[in-house]
Each structure stands twice: as C-alpha cells, then as structure tokens.
Chains A and B, each alone.
Chain A
Amino acid sequence: MPRRYAGVSATHPRDNGLPPFQRFLDAEREVVWRYLVAQVGAAEAEDCFQETFMAALRAYPRLRAQSNMRAWVLTIAQHKALDAHRARGRRPQPIAEQDGREDTAPSAQEQLLAREGELWQAVAALPDRQRSAVVLRYVADLPHREIAAAMDCSVEAARRSLHEGLTKLRKAVPA
C-alpha cells in the first residue's frame, strides 16, 4: 500500500512549491485541535498541539507540495496523542465530567450532555486503532482513504477499525 504522503524527498529544500508554514497552520489548526481534544481531552490538547506542529515545522521543508498535508499532520497528531496516553498510563477523560451543581431537574440540554459524556468516555476506552479511526472519521471528517493514509494502513483495515469501533460505541451508550 503506497503512502499518500511521502514525507521525505531528496530535492533541494528551497522552491519545492510548499505554501508558507503559517498558511498550512492556518488551514489545519482547527481540525488538529478538534482531533486532539477528542483524543486526549481539552486539558492535554494544548501540549499535544504544540508538539504536533513543532514536529511538523521541523519536517516541513522536506515535505512534497503535492502531499496530503492534512493526513500528514494528523498522523503526527496521532503519534503525539498516543504518546500522551502512554505517558499517563491511563485512558483520557475528555468529557464533561459531572460537577456539583444544585439539585434541580436536569434540562434537556444537560441530559444530552450527560449522554455525550458517556459516549466520549466510551470513545476514550476504545483500543488505540479503533479510537483513531473513529476520531479521524467523525471529528477530523476524513474520508476512508485519508484515514488509511493517516493510520498508515490499508483502506480495508481502516474501514474495519472504524466499524469495530462504532459497534462497540453503539453497545456502550444507552438509548
């Protein structure tokens, strides 16, 4: 399976048609941010975001202009998110945890958020590859082909991880 983002080329670093890094950052910052918040939670998203784009900046001049830059930077973000998970040795709690509010009847909005909380707990508890596939698909909004590129696997394998992840989520979250 050829990679869609051959990150390294032997060409001269100058004049390889890459956009200025700031433009790349402007275009990709939000998808990377949302991806990381879903992967590691809002509290750790900042550090992962900084590490992701620092690594991207270091490698940037060697990138080819026709690379799929979104899949490329999400691959880096994915590695940083997995590093963060391992460093903590536990699963993230990316969600609206229950805080001590007054004991009024929960509004429809609060009920919705509580259920979403359970959903994101369940996402956090998925195996790494299933979680990556789910987050790349629904948070980063990537098509299957680009999920495969970002995960460095076949489209079939990406589909399978996504399907398995969704099936687990459906069972985990009450109707």
Chain B
Amino acid sequence: MSGRNGTTVEQIEQALRRGPAHSRESGAGRGARKDAAAEAALAAAQRLSERVSEQGLADISYAPVDSPFGELLLAASEQGLLRLAFPEEDEDAVLERLAARVSPRIVQAPARLDRVRRELDEYFEGRRRAFELPLDWTLVGTFGRRVLGATAQIPYGRVATYTEVAAEAGSPRGSRAAGNALGANPIPIVVPCHRVLRGSGALGGYAGGLPRKQFLLELEGAR
C-alpha cells in the first residue's frame, strides 16, 4: 500500500516503533536506542524515588544494606525503622507484606536509610553499643510490643531468659508466647531479641538462624 505522495504506512509504522532518535551519538540501530531509553528511564525513576522519599510523599522507603550476614533489607516510615529482613527472606514477599499491612506507597530510596546504615555499620564494627534510631512498631501487636519493649531494655552484652522477658511484659507464665513474639520481631538486631536465652543458658531459637544469634552474642562479648 504505497501512497502517491508519501511513504507506505508500513514504513511509517516501523519508524514510529523505533522511537525518536534522542541517542543519536550512539549511532546504532534499534537495540542501542532502546538501551539508551532504558537507562534514561532508570535514572529518572531513581531520581523520582529519592525525591518522593525526601519530601515525605512515600510512606515507606527501603534499601539493601551490606552486613556481615550478607545483604539486609531495611524499610523505614516517617516514624522510624519498620523492618529489617535477613538476606534469605524474599524481597518481593517482604515488600508485598508491607504494602498490604502498612501502605503500598513504597519506594527504594537509599538516602533515607543512611542513618540506620551508619548505626548498623558501627554496631557490627563493635563501635556502637546502643541504637539511637526511632522505631515504627506498626507491624507489632499489643502483646508483641510489650515483649519487644522489654527486650529492648536488655543492655548490650547482657542476656535475659524467655521467662524474665515474659514477666517483664506482664505475662509471667507466657514464656512460650513471649518466644513467639520474639520470633516474629520485625526489626531483629536493632531490637535485640538475640539477647534472650533459655533458662538453662541454651540459645533457644532465632528467626535468622542460631549461628547468627551466636555471632551477635560473641560480638557483644556475652558468650
């Protein structure tokens, strides 16, 4: 189908599909142009995420952070640190649960997590004994909040038993319930559930795995 005074519709369609040549210097065909568009779009999206995070338009900002355990996922709201996920937790699953339980306005914005990253680095280097971060307890229920609140009072390098923590939380016979609440701690390391042991001195449990609990206790000089 050729126009008397123009190009064929097929030629027009092909050229339109290639998109505008805004990456002319690369001088290459469709593939390179698409890559340039992909890179430009990625950079623009990263600026968007940092910007909305900074302006408080996003409800949750998250970022991966290096640690001796591998890459942790940190997520914070305006109130404070909301979640710390170990490397083996699936990132999509963690983010989807945050979207369902808190808000879907979630962006990846590393700058927002700078302070948490710094305090964690200092902790793992043995230079920090207490976190001074605001925390967001949205993911924790009433009982869990009492248990984790009591846990947060255990000083660096010290340990308590499940029974002691349960009693402190106002549930003297509920050491199993306290154990469950500790196991569901959404902010491990920072809320030091690794400092809670069995009465016998045995490690008990740890959502991140017992070797990590042992590592943290040794780091703090408690074992």
Q: Which A residues contact B (CB, under 8 angstroms)? A: 13-23, 25-26, 29-30, 32-34, 37-38, 41-42, 45-46, 49-50, 53-54, 57-58, 60-61, 94-96, 109, 113, 115-117, 119-120, 123, 134, 137-139, 141, 166, 169-175
Contact = CB atoms under 8 A, between A and B. Distances in A.
Given A25-B49, A169-B12, A170-B9, 18 more contacts: A13-B103, A14-B101, A15-B100, A18-B104, A20-B104, A25-B48, A29-B44, A50-B48, A53-B45, A53-B52, A54-B52, A57-B107, A119-B16, A123-B16, A134-B16, A138-B17, A170-B6, A173-B12
A175 B47 CA distance: 41
Contacts of A41: 20, 22
Give the size range of B's interface with the partner: 35 or more
A38 to B, nearest CB: 6
B19 A34 contact: yes
A117 B22 CA distance: 10
Contact of A50 (B19, B44, B58, B102): B44
A14 B95 contact: no
Contact of A173 (B7, B45, B99): B7
Closest 8 CB pairs of A and B: A138-B16, A33-B41, A20-B106, A42-B22, A18-B104, A29-B45, A20-B95, A170-B6
A113 B9 contact: no
A58 B22 CA distance: 30
Contacts of B41: 29-30, 32-34, 49
A57 B60 CA distance: 12
18 contacts: A20-B99, A21-B58, A21-B105, A21-B107, A29-B44, A33-B37, A34-B37, A37-B19, A50-B48, A57-B58, A94-B22, A96-B22, A117-B21, A166-B9, A166-B13, A170-B3, A170-B8, A173-B7
